[in-house]
Amino acid sequence: MNLLELFLLAAIWGASFLFMRVATPELGAIVLIALRVGIATLVLVPVLRSTEARAQFRSKLRPLFIVSVTNSAIPFCLLAYSTLYVSAGMDSILNATTPLWAALVAVTLYRTAMNREQTLGLLFGLAGTVVLVWDTLDSGVKGIPVAIGAALAATLCYGFAVNYSKRNLAGVPPFVAAFGSQFFSTLILLPLAVILWPQHPVANTTWACVAALGVVCTGIAYILYFRLIAHVGAAYAASVTFVIPLFGVLWGALFLGEQVTPTTVAGGLIILFGTAMTSGKLGWMMPKSV
């Protein structure tokens, strides 16, 4: 059952790149994400039904605000923008570099030691990213380099948020943290969304993508994610990172006709291998110290 939920979560989060790729051209990145986090906030409101949850929320307003900026508002917008130029599949693979950035942030900002396995994983991940984007960068299409940079900047934000949350939101129930992240992101993005609201009619398919992003890919996905954490632990739940690209590439190919090239497969596999090493998932392959 836990494995089924893990794959269901990966399928949902993998689909988010598909929905962004469809909806961003009509709504723009900021409007789309403002709607996404706003809907998710409404879905997650029941987590504050207890007095204790509300008290914990009020006691951590500043760190929750910082996490909302670095874990939702900025990276969501950057990833949405990147889907204007790169495929949903590539975006989902670039998203898988998050643990690499998390390790790098831990070393540079928090002086956390990195062992040989993590260092090798970081190098593999970097090499895989170069392989993945090489052909795309060489296409000469204007806007692609900035889009790839935006996707990587988003994962850097995620990497910072992971480290910051560990140190500043310890003891806060995950559902409260999830609500706070979406709530403050909504407050940040809503004024911009009002200014940038599209003046043209928006297609029904776009509104369907918005609803799917907010309700399913954010609200329900958080519930599934924290349910996994509660049942089998954070390490197991975090392994969803390795499955998301599979679905991101699959949905893009099935519904958008995106081409899956050998370079995409090779780069993606190298990134996932490096990510697994950096996060300690391949410790059994490394020689033990004596």
Q: Where do the domains of the chain lie?
A: 2-280
Q: For 139-169, what is each residue's pLDDT tens digit?
A: 667 899 999 999 999 999 999 998 999 899 9
Instruction: Report how far apart, in Å, the C-alpha atoms of 74 and of each of 16, 65, 70, 225 are.
Output: 16, 12, 6, 21
- The answer, yes or no, to whether residue 128 has pLDDT greater than 80, is yes
Q: What would the mean pLDDT of 21-39 be, rounded to a whole number?
A: 98
Rounded Cα distance between 165 and 149, Å, is 24
Distances (CA, A) of 121 to 118, 132, 164, 191: 5, 16, 22, 41
Please determine, for residue 196, whether its predicted confidence score (pLDDT) is greater than 70: yes
Mean of the per-residue pLDDT values of the chain: 90
pLDDT at residue 227 is higher than 90: no
pLDDT > 70: what percent of the chain?
Answer: 95
pTM > 0.95: no
pLDDT at 212: 97
In the prediction, which pLDDT does 111 show? Answer: 86
Calpha distance 111→148 (Å, rounded): 28
Quick one: pLDDT at residue 282? 64
- At 282, give phi and psi (nearest 5°): -115, 25
